[in-house]
Amino acid sequence: MPRKGYRGVDYDIDYDDWEDYEDDYFEENGSTGFSTKVSGSTKEKVVIKEASSKPAIWSCSICTFDNDESMIVCEICGVVRVTLGDLSNGMKVADGSTFSKAPSSISTEKENFVKPSTKKLKNPSVSLPKDGQPSADERDYPSIKEEKPQDITSGFNKVSMSSEAGCSNNGVNYKKVNLNSQYKPETWMVPDREGTPTQLNLAVVGHVDSGKSTLSGRLLNLLGKISKKEMHKYEKESKIMGKSSFAYAWAMDESAEERERGVTMNVAVAYFDSKKYHVVLLDSPGHKDFVPNMISGATQADAAILVIDASIGAFEAGIDPNGGQTREHAQLIRSFGVDQVIVVINKMDVVGYSKDRFDSIVLQLGTFLRSCGFKDTLLSWVPLSAMENQNLVNAVSDVRLSSWYQGSFLLDAVDSLRPPIRDISTPLLLPVCDVIKSHSLGPVAVSGKLESGALRCGSKVLVMPSGDIAIVRSLERGSQPCTVARAGDNVAVGLQGIDVSNVVAGGVLCHPSFPVAVSTHLELKILTLDLTMPILIGSQVEFHIHHAKEAGRVVKILSVFDQKTGKVSKKAPRCLTAKQSALIEVDLHGPVCVKAFSDCRGLGRAFLRASGKTIAVGIVSQILE
């Protein structure tokens, strides 16, 4: 639908809870063409047309389209224009009232659609749309209603629209927000897994060329997940291309472009079992050009392996503030909520298994990781060589390393991680990581990690942001069919009853009665990173949240916090510089599925990027629109 930039409308709504937001919000978002005043004592609503600064046009109150002055109904949505002359002739809009006199040029059929509803609302906090009743076109085409800019009654998710105004084509009122406290898990959702290992989502991150894919491939090979035939094939193909050292990496980097360029471009997923866990290995790209892909995949992690290249010069390049991906990846995984990290010092054979080199890296990197918020007790340091198979699945055999290191090997360090906490007491939330094609799952299938709740074959799910209902056709966990998936599981879900065009990466599968919010205007509490340019009001950013990415703009910088006390140290600063904690508002070019961090951590963590760098990490403190 066409949208115009006509602004300049003011609102005055006497709700005490919004006093802190009214002035700032309306300065940015007034765009309806009418001013509505609600009296707390009489609850009378009077619609008064704003004086137009453009005498040749009038702005529709529903779709904000600028119509010609001669039009009496909106050219786009068909809503009837209410003029000052109509008001002077006795036309009123009030609760329980009808128009005493309708314009003679308007048909009786159209008149019926501009009358406000006389039905008494059950919930006193639910208010009518600004013009009372939806127009005829809105009744016939609900998408018009959905595309209209939200008014103040739905802007803060404190007041829900009537069911008639908030339904999609399938009748699901996904604008209505139900409290999680109303949700009760069913009996089948409670896990009964005696003897079944806990699933652990383990992200492998680090600077480019630090050996992440080689380490992952070698580990899978040693655990029997790659057959001798497949390994022989990788060795032969890599040797033909003159990249024989990439043979193990090719177990993870399967695309022709990744193999030709010698870098991981997308997050590769593999599975193996340790004594304690069923591990989902998320091999992440290390090149700075593919950090958005790393964010999308590694945001599912419960713990991480941070791979460091021990070679002289390589480690220093990774922690360089100007482009070092060791720094950026460490900051990102901490902002994902990951607090357990195994720091793997790889390629120790290149430096002759030098204890001095190991100690130097631990000293420098340890200081930086502590500054990111990691605790020493949750960090494990493992020196190894993936190429020479030293300290991966067995104790060290090379005397140069065993002479000074008697700690855990890598697989043992994985088993020493604390089991993650799973939440099945809240409704289903499954952010869609990718829309996949699978013969076993059917024509419409998605993959992702369940953040909360549970899922089973035959369950009905609400697919957001489209608002369509689908039925779970089949489930796969670890490439194996299953009947039930619970919070924390990384699964592939086959859907039926929905078109593939209505399912997108970055969307969310949720409980039909507990829809996730869809918004374009958010309040964020952020921590700025190593900035080369300050963040200003109007700064263009790349907004990342779970698997969604959207262009956006900083519209307000509300305050800066003292990082020691957490209290506001300055209100409305002009800009933000490096290492500052602040409260800001962002306006996104397109809607994203989102929850406040206090409601769901997985859907409430956000990242801001600009010029190919992550400039800030933070949380969604409030959904404004």
Pairing of strands 12-13, 34-38: parallel
pLDDT of residue 132: 40
Q: How confident is the model at residue 39 (pLDDT cuts 50, 70, 90)?
A: very low
The rounded radius of gyration (Å) of the Cα atoms in the chain is 28
Quick check: bond before 573 cis, omega within 30? Answer: no
Contacts of 162 (CB under 8 A, 6+ apart): 117, 121, 126, 128, 129
* Tens digits of residue pLDDT in 127-179: 333 344 443 333 333 333 333 333 323 333 332 333 333 333 343 444 445 55
Q: How confident is the model at residue 608 (pLDDT cuts 50, 70, 90)?
A: very high
Q: Rounded mean pLDDT of the chain?
A: 76
Q: Indicate whether 3 pLDDT > 50.
A: no
What value does the mean pLDDT take over residues 71-90?
56
Q: Indicate whether 118 pLDDT > 80.
A: no
pLDDT of residue 218: 93
* Tens digits of residue pLDDT in 542-576: 999 999 999 999 999 999 999 888 899 999 999 99
* Residue among 422, 421, 420, 423 at smallest CA distance from 183: 423
Q: Indicate whether 82 pLDDT > 90.
A: no
- Using H for helix, E for strand and C for coil, what is the string for 280-301? EEEECCCCHHHHHHHHHHHCCC
> Can you list the domains of the chain with their CATH numbers?
198-416 (3.40.50.300), 429-510 (2.40.30.10), 518-623 (2.40.30.10)
Sign of CA dihedral 60, 66, 71, 76: negative
Contacts of 489 (CB under 8 A, 6+ apart): 199, 449, 450, 477
Distances (CA, A) of 289 to 53, 264, 316: 47, 11, 20
Q: How confident is the model at residue 351 (pLDDT cuts 50, 70, 90)?
A: very high
Of the two residues 84 and 197, the one the predictor is more confident about is 197
What value does the mean pLDDT take over residues 276-295?
89
Tell me the pTM. 0.68
